[in-house]
Structure 1
């Protein structure tokens, strides 16, 4: 779909679902991200973000219907408000504030605010969408470049499909993509954006994803767990052990995501990011 078609479809959605918005004065601009384009909508007194459901995003496990459900049920005051929704789009408020830097992210961990935010999310009601990593592994496998597969990789895939995932310590809404680029400091406090991989799952899985995606050293992990125990799951030792159980699952998920994104985009940077994981597993 061309940009003009995007704009026409979004204007129609706004006119239908948000008739009070003057679409004639709105400006539409693309917002780039790792998984494709979203569209920022600016007009008189409004600033919104439109997020599209595409076949590529669906293949990566993204569901805008699920994302909207999580935001409405679990994200109030923590994520952006959902303003409109259709089969192909969700439109959410554009959160104003400052993006968190790597240094700021480390400071949020040190002071405990990051752990408090994560624990706050994990206390929200369940969305009804349970995360199934094994089903996602099957989907990713179908998208891989068959020329890159090895017998060791096949054995690894079979291993993860055969074994039983860790039994959740605490089932809760989990974001699965907490990193500096998805955090905004605002007058209302710390806000979390980009909920496209959020679902219901074990709190320890969300923490394992946080540790791996930010490449945290053990001292940073320990700091987070100490603060988290004050706000969330209280048994720090047991939580640490459960996070360790989930780390191989997170590593394999990251490898498969990088490979699938490379197939979709042709951007060799994804292969570079996944090279160490591929060497380990394959």
Structure 2
């Protein structure tokens, strides 16, 4: 087996790739192909802010992605079991690929060949909103995981100085949130950006990276979707409601706008955790920008 040691691989601990793990993955791939199969090459994937994943080449000529239970998984409050359940559900409805195997050490999923949607030249807004609506139409068969608990998990990892600074905006952010009455519980991707969608050679749109997926309020997912794709909420909501045959467009709009400050605050905390974990200036810069944005909104 060839192990390519790019800069991304150096962020993985020895325990993330070891002979015992390779043997387990060979067993799972052999079961997947129904014939003896071995991993022949491993290389780091540079894309992705949360995960430090590996692309595996096997003796059948296939490709897969190994998503380990790493330090980042613990820091960002990711549950690979919930991720696997979500991806499996969505794959049953043609929007993703079925996972290969869920192990104690992580999740193995197929590599999806094609072009990331954010690198396509065409206007892809319609594709994105269509996928968002289709995901929200899926049967609600995955775990309801609290976004408040997720946010608190991030906050606990921050320095006292950082927590004190965030107190300046946290109370205001929580005051903007919509009431529980009016929630619409649906399957939510929670990070449905164009960077998480691949257009295959047959022009199929495949959604990747289900690590944050859960059952939650559709309006929060729409708010996160708008931020992930730098889209104006009004245009998204109008198209989304038309596709979902929702007549109460203004009610949807109010709830989405009310969720936006929390969506930004959650992202702010996420970037702060990333800054602590990876020591990369880009994470801290993004966190600072979001803080200044929220502080300005609070001041009116």
TM, length-normalised to structure 2:
0.82
Q: Which residue of 2 aligns with 1:227?
A: 239
Q: Write the distance in 2 (CA, Å) between the matches of 1:25 and 1:154.
A: 49
Q: Say whether 1:119 aligns with 2:105.
A: no
1:69 equivalent among 71, 82, 85: 85
Deviation at 1:16, TM superposition (A): 3.2
Is the contact made by 2:190 and 2:225 (CA closer than 8 Å) also made in structure 1? yes
Q: Write the distance in 2 (CA, Å) between the matches of 1:130 and 1:185.
A: 29
Q: Which residue of 2 aligns with 1:213?
A: 228
Q: Say whether 1:88 aligns with 2:105.
A: yes
Q: Write the distance in 1 (CA, Å) between the matches of 2:16 and 2:267.
A: 33
**Structure 1 unmatched runs, 5+:** none
Q: Say whether 1:98 aligns with 2:115.
A: yes
Q: Which residue of 1 aligns with 2:69?
A: 53
Q: Which residue of 1 aligns with 2:211?
A: 196
1:139-181 alpha-carbon deviations (Å, 9 max, x no partner): 111111223343x523544666789764253211111111121
Q: Write the distance in 2 (CA, Å) between the matches of 1:129 and 1:249.
A: 21
Q: Which has the higher contact order (CA 8 A, sep 6+)?
A: 1
TM, length-normalised to structure 1:
0.87
Q: Write the distance in 1 (CA, Å) between the matches of 2:141 and 2:104.
A: 19
Q: Write the distance in 2 (CA, Å) between the matches of 1:38 and 1:47.
A: 13
Q: Which residue of 1 aligns with 2:24?
A: 13
Q: Say whether 1:240 aligns with 2:253.
A: yes
1:206-265 alpha-carbon deviations (Å, 9 max, x no partner): 11001112222x3xx333222212322613222111101110110110110011110111
Q: Which residue of 1 aligns with 2:189?
A: 175
Between the two proteins, the alignment pairs up a number of residues equal to 275
More displaced 10-residue stretch of structure 1: 28-37 or 165-174: 165-174
Q: Write the distance in 1 (CA, Å) between the matches of 2:15 and 2:176.
A: 48
Deviation at 1:3, TM superposition (A): 5.6
Q: Write the distance in 1 (CA, Å) between the matches of 2:75 and 2:39.
A: 35
Q: Which residue of 2 aligns with 1:271?
A: 284
1:56-83 alpha-carbon deviations (Å, 9 max, x no partner): 3122121111100101123431122111
Where 1:177 maps in the other structure, the secondary structure is coil
Q: Write the distance in 2 (CA, Å) between the matches of 1:275 and 1:192.
A: 30
